[in-house]
Amino acid sequence: MAIHPIDFRYGTPEMRSVWDEENRFASVVAAEVALANAEAAYGLIPETAAEEITLHAGEASLARAKEIEDEINHDMMAIVTAVTEVCGKSGRWIHYGATSNDILDTATGLQIKDSLDLIEIKLKQLLAVLLKRSDETKILVCSGRTHGQIGVPTTYGLRFAIWASEVARHIERLTQLRPRVAVGQMTGAVGTQASLGELGHRVMTTMMEILELSPVDVSNQLIQRDRYAEYFMFLANVATTLDKIGIEIRSMQRTEIGEMEEAFGSKQVGSSTMPHKRNPIKSEQVCGLARIVRAMVEPALQNNTLWDERDLTNSSCERVTFPEASILTDHILSVMIKVIEGVRIRPENVRRNLMMLHGVNMAESVMIELTKIGMDRQDAHETVRVASMKALEENRPLSEVISEYPRVTALCTKERIEELLEPDNYIGTAVWQVEMIIRKLTQVTE
């Protein structure tokens, strides 16, 4: 019976398959095979042995390894024994010169590499969707908000472009961290490579070339966990971007705002008791699971503070953190792609909110104009501030209130004030910025 929601509710088949037992076993076997071939290349084991190991190692089974582990209580030696059994006389060379974590950490490197490949694909898909929505809404003027309060106008296109730019930086980060985190090692019991002698570094380099991983420069019994901590922090950073987007969608879907809403199926149910509800459950799921991904950063950092050349406190922890963080990050990426694709924008509500304050949210525009045509900037700020407060208190249009100030009308006609209070006239370079981002980032999605 499934217990963890990853088994039945969250996660994509492709990312689950990276971290399932069978692939973990296969990755360990692949590392053993690569080691044998690297050692044969330098005459440390017979070439015929490497050939036989390559031919037959894949016949070893996870089930048999588990049987052996039940007897000897050592997972790595159980796999070594299971592979040895299917490789005939050449099995004697399996794991030659290696310590457990040479193979286990290298297998983790293979899994990280595959995980990053999948996440990169999803990030590029999300980026493409964000750029598309940004282009569609680049002239849709809306209320900017700071501190939860309506401010000067912005555009929905700029909002999507800002998110797109952030996702593009994650793609850049992924490219930069890949050689640091998708790594393997063959360094022996305490990192000296004594078991392989002077050929140790060359064997490790060749082994990693076979596996398409970066070799460590130096290590002790295991790969230093600052590398893995960077991987987890990257996942947490990606998850936080998705959390940010989800929060904005949820906020804009509030009944009182009503500017955006998740796609809602014709038969979808929003509440078991309130039939009218259309809840942003996908964005809420993303925000909730992002908390779990971020929670993996602390144990990842602590896993780097091991005793001397190593202890075993990282092992049990990583059996949980790697699958959970990787699978959940991939999952919420997939969810957010669909959310952004289907999110509905209600222009009528966007306009209603933009005009809600009857021009008070355009106070900056008037202040800038008054300063430009002769008033001291600080005086202009205070004049418009006092007029804005009065307009809010009396629930009157700012144009009406500020036109009662002779020092303002002496510089600016009522017609000009009306122009200054039109939101569509005060979006600066927003459209240009969106078009620039689209030109710059479209190639990243390819």
pLDDT in the model for residue 1: 82
* pLDDT class of 178 with cuts at 50, 70, 90: very high
Determine the residue type at 61.
S
- Whether the per-residue pLDDT at 275 is higher than 90: the answer is no
> pLDDT digits over 73-88, tens only?
999 999 999 999 999 9
In angstroms, the CA 33 to CA 328 distance is 31
Q: Positive or negative, the Cα torsion across 334, 15, 112, 38?
A: negative
> pLDDT digits over 293-346, tens only?
999 999 999 999 999 999 999 999 999 999 999 999 999 999 999 999 999 999
pLDDT in the model for residue 270: 80
As a whole number of Å, the CA-based R_g of the chain is: 30
Picking from 190, 194, 216, the residue whose alpha carbon sits closest to that of residue 311 is 190
* pLDDT class of 46 with cuts at 50, 70, 90: very high
- Whether the per-residue pLDDT at 357 is higher than 90: the answer is yes
pLDDT in the model for residue 267: 83
In angstroms, the CA 442 to CA 283 distance is 25
pLDDT in the model for residue 263: 87
Residue 154 CA neighbour count, 13 Å, CB half: 16
* pLDDT class of 242 with cuts at 50, 70, 90: very high
pLDDT in the model for residue 265: 77
pLDDT in the model for residue 380: 92
> pLDDT digits over 131-169, tens only?
999 999 999 999 999 999 999 999 999 999 999 999 999
pLDDT in the model for residue 78: 96
Against a cut of 0.85, is the pTM above it? Answer: yes
Mean predicted confidence (pLDDT) in 6-28: 96
* Percent of the chain residues topping a pLDDT of 70: 100
The residues pairing with 183 across neighbouring beta strands, listed in sequence order, are: 214
pLDDT in the model for residue 389: 96
* pLDDT class of 273 with cuts at 50, 70, 90: confident
Please provide residue 140's backbone torsions phi and psi, each rounded to the nearest 5 degrees.
-85, 100
In angstroms, the CA 107 to CA 318 distance is 13
In angstroms, the CA 304 to CA 299 distance is 9
* pLDDT class of 209 with cuts at 50, 70, 90: very high
> pLDDT digits over 379-417, tens only?
999 999 999 999 999 999 999 999 999 999 999 999 999
Q: Known catalytic residues?
A: 147, 271
Mean predicted confidence (pLDDT) in 276-284: 90
- Whether the per-residue pLDDT at 269 is higher than 90: the answer is no
In angstroms, the CA 19 to CA 328 distance is 12
Cβ proximity of 181 and 137 under 8 Å:
no
- Whether the per-residue pLDDT at 266 is higher than 80: the answer is no
**What is the β-pairing status of strands 344-345 and 260-261?**
antiparallel
- Domains in the chain with CATH codes: 10-90+98-107+114-127+146-351 (1.20.200.10), 355-425 (1.10.40.30)
- Whether the per-residue pLDDT at 271 is higher than 80: the answer is no
Residues in the chain: 446
Cβ proximity of 249 and 260 under 8 Å:
yes
